Amino acid sequence: MTLKNKTILVTGGAGFIGSHIVDLLIEEKPKQVVVFDNFVRGTRDNLKQAMKSGLVKIIKGDVTDFNQINRATKGVDYVFHEVALWLLHCEENPREAIKVNIEGTLNVLDACVKNKVKKIVAASSASVYGDAQIFPTTEDHPFNNYLFYGASKVTDEHLLRIFWKKHGLDFVALRYFNVYGDRQQYDLAYTSVIMKFIDTLDRGERPIIYGDGSATMDLVFVDDIARANILALKSEVTNQVLNVATEKETSLKELLNIIADLLKVKDIKPIYKPYNKQLVVRRCGSAKKALKLIDFKAKTSVKDGVKQVIEWRSEMEAKKNKK
């Protein structure tokens, strides 16, 4: 499938992952890329490079308003759906989680059907597995989730299947594992452990590790996540959920050491605090199904990815200091 001369909508397109998808879409020579975002977390700065192409149209709107997303979907061939509240935000605001992550997704799907969209690629999450029992975790692993965020993603996947069965809306849902990379917010309460480690070490403070440092993540660089989205859309695959994972585990201790080494910080003395019981202690996803169905394999090592994050953050800090 070619995306040349097609009109493609990206919900949350000014956000962390969405903006990277937009960047890759420009390379596909589409007719237009429509970015739909409420700009609560997304920024126009994230779209600076893509805007130079002249192919990007920005619409400020919210997926919780059906009329807004319906208007934005008119004339659209394909959709990437990236809008979602973050995990801990969902735990603190469950009603908002349901409104944005579930009702918002229902609005997007309804708009897709009404406007005859051909296919949607939607962001799901490894959170649907909860505390997995099998590693690497495959897509047929039972749901073992006990969080509002994970529950919203399980529901979204079921909605996608329903719309495929009832309306013939082709879809692929991508279960992201631990995504990180440039453009990830690092100056807000809801931020990744990578950003927290970098900030703490940069300030010359002792980093905090929750638990004993043995908890692991399957860290996937955002460029790989974006590429998986493009491959999923261009493929003939439909009615499928796929992990976007590396099959490699990185413990918190290992991650801290990688960051410290890149920052040339020695004699790290972490502060250990009790692990958040809401969070899982191990993540490692099977990448075999994605390789087989959409020819996706993650390319970026943790060290190379973190290095890019550090360089990007330095640039952002330099810009801040100039103001």
Question: How open is the CA angle 56-58-62, to the nearest 5 degrees?
Answer: 140
Q: How sure is the predictor about 275, in pLDDT bands with cuts at 50, 70 and 90? A: confident
Identify the bridge partners of residue 87 per DSSP, sorted by sequence position. none
**What pLDDT shows up at residue 43?**
96
Euclidean distance between CA atoms 166 and 130, whole angstroms: 29
The answer on pLDDT for 188 being more than 70 is no
| Mean pLDDT on 35-54 | 97
Structure tokens at 309: 């994050």
| Mean pLDDT on 112-135 | 97
| Mean pLDDT on 129-152 | 96
The residue type of 319 is K
Q: Which residues have a Cβ under 8 Å from the Cβ of 141 and sit 6 or more positions away?
A: 129, 132, 133, 134
Instruction: Specify the 3-state DSSP secondary structure of 73.
Output: helix
The residue type of 296 is F
Say if CB 197 and CB 210 are below 8 A apart.
no
Catalytic position from the list 149, 186, 210, 275? 149
- Distance of alpha carbon 227 from the chain centroid: 12
Identify the bridge partners of residue 36 per DSSP, sorted by sequence position. 11, 59
Say if CB 252 and CB 211 are below 8 A apart.
yes
The torsion region of residue 181 among left (phi > 0), alpha (psi -120 to 50) and beta comes to left
Please return the burial class of 282, using the count of CB atoms within 10 Å of its CB with bins 0-12, 13-18 and 19+: middle
Q: Which domains does the chain have, with CATH numbers?
A: 7-177+220-245+286-298 (3.40.50.720)
With b for 16 or more beta-carbon neighbours within 10 A and e for fewer, the 230-265 pattern comes to bbbbbbebeebbbbbbbbbbbbbbebbebbbebeeb
The answer on pLDDT for 237 being more than 60 is yes
**What pLDDT shows up at residue 295?**
98
Instruction: Specify the 3-state DSSP secondary structure of 200.
Output: helix
Torsion angle of the four alpha carbons 136, 176, 178, 280, in this order, in degrees rounded to the nearest 10: -60
272 is catalytic: no
What are the backbone dihedrals phi and psi of residue 271, each rounded to the nearest 5 degrees, phi first?
Answer: -100, 125
Kindly state the DSSP code that residue 98 receives in the 8-state scheme: I
**What pLDDT shows up at residue 41?**
92
Q: Which residues have a Cβ under 8 Å from the Cβ of 315 and sit 6 or more positions away?
A: none
pLDDT tens figures, 6-23: 999 999 999 999 999 999
**What pLDDT shows up at residue 13?**
98
User: pTM of this prediction?
Assistant: 0.96
